[in-house]
Structure 1
């Protein structure tokens, strides 16, 4: 990666930071100006992420390494772009664009510094996806969390404030675990650069290796809290369902940050060598418990917000179990599932806010009570039959049906393709004479059950919301609110149409991740720009 394209690696961090700095100097009453600056920055971020993704999907299948300050690793700050980080940058940029446009209808004006915190969140997210060392991962993690605290409380209200306090407390504990884990790893290995750490692992003495394992385990807890692994996940459904709709939409990727870091460190540090397979059993069992808990929560949820929150846990549990199984072919399908489920859940959170405008707060609970006691049945027979559904409800109902199909994993959309890719990879082991293990069979059964549970829950809630609503009120919805939801759902449709190229990209990404030496050598051999007084010589980025 040479020339101007090389400097694009730092752009996903610089653009939102500069936008945030500019927004802080603009008065809060100039909402249109702030919104336009934030929107331009986010659009620019989408373009940059698309260019970086195109570069990574080209013939060269490895990273660009960016040395900040021109200091070589492991002494300087290193940013690393590969297929996985480029994918996550594109995912976060598209979600951010949809959530920001949705918020322009009314949410961005319901609190101070919304756009500043939004851009700061993107800077923390993108930095975490790009950084090549654990210390700066901690820094970007804290930047992201600080912005998410403000966004979680945006819009006020007692329920949101209460859930926000729980969210802040849990994530402060996660940050403390992160700091402790990083300290133990540095005290043992003497480095926090991930590539240098991977290279030093074989030379660490056995007694110190145990301390490093302890540090890695504590560090893992921090990201498992963020990923929502059971029993560390009880805060997530309540917090996400209480957040403002566009905030919940962008929060859909925060749990995937935990998955991303665990995948990165597992493949790089624990794929081979003295710590090969470290933590795999914990991920497998934790993912199993999370998936079961999410399935039960989906079936038990009566409110749409909590249904979406538990769908996040179903997604996290599935991905954690795949990480525990540690099979490259299955992981390729899991990456497609990660992208598809994140788009779907983000769209669902924003759709819920639109749908619930036509309902009373306790409408779903009241509907369940009436159904259980058989009240209101005679009145329903007297209602007028064959009334045409208003256009707004037809569009919302179509979007809701697409969300249901995607969450349940029904054909022909990307949710089905991703699950089919995972299941066929897991079942494919028997084609070469090696039957699937008990863990693989368990995951197969739970993935199918999670789809059935989502279908039942979404069908039940959809009927109550669109076909037998107690109020019959058509919500007032603006075009600027419908477009982001339809945009995210159209991306899942695009994933379905382009499933072949998408799966090839995922396969290449996993193949590169499974060869840690590529990453290590790229970081160690990263080219330093000669100073003016030195002979430039020759080299490549």
Structure 2
């Protein structure tokens, strides 16, 4: 990666930062102008992320190390672009574009500085995916959290404010744990650069290694809170369901940020050596507990928002389990599942608001009560009678059915492809062909049960929403609102059609992560730019 392409690595951080700064100088009454500036930045971010993704998916060697200030590691700040970070950047930019377009219908006008906070959220998330040292991971993590506080409270309302206060308290605690963990790691190793840290860990004395692992454990708790691992996840369904539709849509990537950091640090720092496998059992059994809790929550949820919130926990639990078993073939399918579930849940959060516009307040509660006490209207239509479904409801129903198929992992969409890839590898029919253990069989059963639970919950919710006996009005849906939902669901269709190349990319990504020496050597051997010295020498010789 040379020339102008090399400088694109910093663009996903600088672009939203610059857009946020520009938006602060635009008067809040100029809603259209602010929306256009924010949309232009989001579109450009998608283009940049796609270019970086294409570069990383090509035959080039790993060269995506950007030295800020032209200082080498570990003394300078570095940004690192590899296959995993390029994938997460592209996923974030696509989800962010869809959520931003959706917000332009009305949500960006119900509070101040929506677009500024949205761009700062993108900056924090992108920076966390790109950074190569723990301190700047903390900085970007805090930027992301600060923006998410304002976005969650955007639109006010007592339920949103209450959920927002809980969200802020929990994440402030997570930030404190993050700082404590980073301090312990720096105190024992003398570095926070990830590559340099990975190289020093095998050389640490056993007594100091215990303190370093304690710091890593505290740091891991901070990201397990963000990932939503049980019992640290009770805040998540309430907070996500209380957020406005576009905010909940972009929040779908935040739990995956926790998964990303855990995957990155686990493979890089604890892939081999004396600390190999550190925390694997916590991830395995914590993932199992999270998945069980998510399954129960999905089945118990009557409100669509809480159903989507518990679906986030189902996704997180599945991914944490895979990280715990540390199997390359299973991890490849899990990466595909991460992308598919993030797109699906983001689309589902935005779709929920459109669907619920046609329902009277308390319609779901009344429907449940009538079913429980047998008071439902059982009048059968006469022969020849029929009901005509308006076009709006037909489109919403189709999108709802697609979300149900994706969440349940039914064929033919990408949710099925990802789960099939994971399950086939778990049962020994994948690339490694290792007979499954009792723990792996437990995972297989839970993954299947999670799909069954999602199918039951989505079918029940769909019947009540689109075919229930309680009368509702046809919602007024703008094109700018339904298009982002269809866009995200369309991306899952593309992922299904291109499942072969997608799985090859995931396999390559996991193999690169499993060989941390590639990452370590690339960062530690990155050279500073000396073109200006050569130019000065040439000009001096010409003068003489």
Secondary structure of 1:74's aligned partner: coil
How many angstroms apart in 2 are the aligned matches of 1:194 and 1:437?
33
Range 374-383 or range 113-122, more displaced: 374-383
Partner of 1:445: 445
How many angstroms apart in 1 are the aligned matches of 2:225 and 2:241?
17
Secondary structure of 2:80's aligned partner: strand
> Could you report, residue by residue, the CA deviation over 1:97-142 in whole angstroms, capped at 9, with x for unpaired residues?
0000000000000000000000000000000000000000000000
Partner of 2:481: 481
Structure 2 length as normaliser, TM-score?
0.97
Q: Note the C-alpha offset of 1:472.
A: 2.6
Relative to structure 1, the CA distance from residue 510 to residue 63 in structure 2 (aligned partners, 3 Å threshold; closer, same or farther) is: farther
Kept after mapping to 2: 8 A contact 1:529/1:536: no
Partner of 1:367: 367
Q: Note the C-alpha offset of 1:531.
A: 6.3
How many angstroms apart in 2 are the aligned matches of 1:533 and 1:481?
54
Partner of 2:6: 6
Secondary structure of 2:126's aligned partner: helix
How many angstroms apart in 2 are the aligned matches of 1:382 and 1:106?
43
Partner of 2:126: 126
Secondary structure of 1:10's aligned partner: helix
> Could you report, residue by residue, the CA deviation over 1:304-324 in whole angstroms, capped at 9, with x for unpaired residues?
000000000000000000000
Secondary structure of 1:358's aligned partner: coil
Kept after mapping to 1: 8 A contact 2:414/2:496: yes
Kept after mapping to 1: 8 A contact 2:329/2:430: no
Secondary structure of 1:435's aligned partner: coil
Relative to structure 1, the CA distance from residue 448 to residue 190 in structure 2 (aligned partners, 3 Å threshold; closer, same or farther) is: same
Residues 81-480 of structure 1: matches in 2 within 5 Å?
Answer: 81-379=81-379, 385-428=385-428, 434-480=434-480
Partner of 1:532: 532
Secondary structure of 2:229's aligned partner: coil
Secondary structure of 1:9's aligned partner: helix
Stretches of structure 2 lacking an aligned partner (at least 5 in a row): 538-544
Structure 1 length as normaliser, TM-score?
0.97
Q: Note the C-alpha offset of 1:347.
A: 0.2
How many angstroms apart in 1 are the aligned matches of 2:531 and 2:396?
59
How many angstroms apart in 2 are the aligned matches of 1:519 and 1:371?
57
Relative to structure 1, the CA distance from residue 189 to residue 468 in structure 2 (aligned partners, 3 Å threshold; closer, same or farther) is: same
Relative to structure 1, the CA distance from residue 348 to residue 29 in structure 2 (aligned partners, 3 Å threshold; closer, same or farther) is: same
- CA-atom RMSD, angstroms? 1.5
Relative to structure 1, the CA distance from residue 366 to residue 270 in structure 2 (aligned partners, 3 Å threshold; closer, same or farther) is: same
Kept after mapping to 1: 8 A contact 2:377/2:469: no
Q: Note the C-alpha offset of 1:62.
A: 2.1
Aligned residues: 537
Stretches of structure 1 lacking an aligned partner (at least 5 in a row): none
How many angstroms apart in 1 are the aligned matches of 2:433 and 2:221?
37
Residues 28-43 of structure 1: matches in 2 within 5 Å?
Answer: 28-43=28-43
Kept after mapping to 2: 8 A contact 1:61/1:512: no
How many angstroms apart in 2 are the aligned matches of 1:466 and 1:430?
40
How many angstroms apart in 2 are the aligned matches of 1:224 and 1:323?
12
Secondary structure of 1:8's aligned partner: helix
How many angstroms apart in 1 are the aligned matches of 2:338 and 2:399?
20
Secondary structure of 1:276's aligned partner: coil
Q: Note the C-alpha offset of 1:465.
A: 0.2
Relative to structure 1, the CA distance from residue 304 to residue 61 in structure 2 (aligned partners, 3 Å threshold; closer, same or farther) is: farther
How many angstroms apart in 2 are the aligned matches of 1:129 and 1:430?
29
How many angstroms apart in 1 are the aligned matches of 2:382 and 2:75?
77
Kept after mapping to 1: 8 A contact 2:267/2:516: yes
Q: Note the C-alpha offset of 1:47.
A: 0.1
Kept after mapping to 2: 8 A contact 1:62/1:512: no
Q: Note the C-alpha offset of 1:532.
A: 3.0
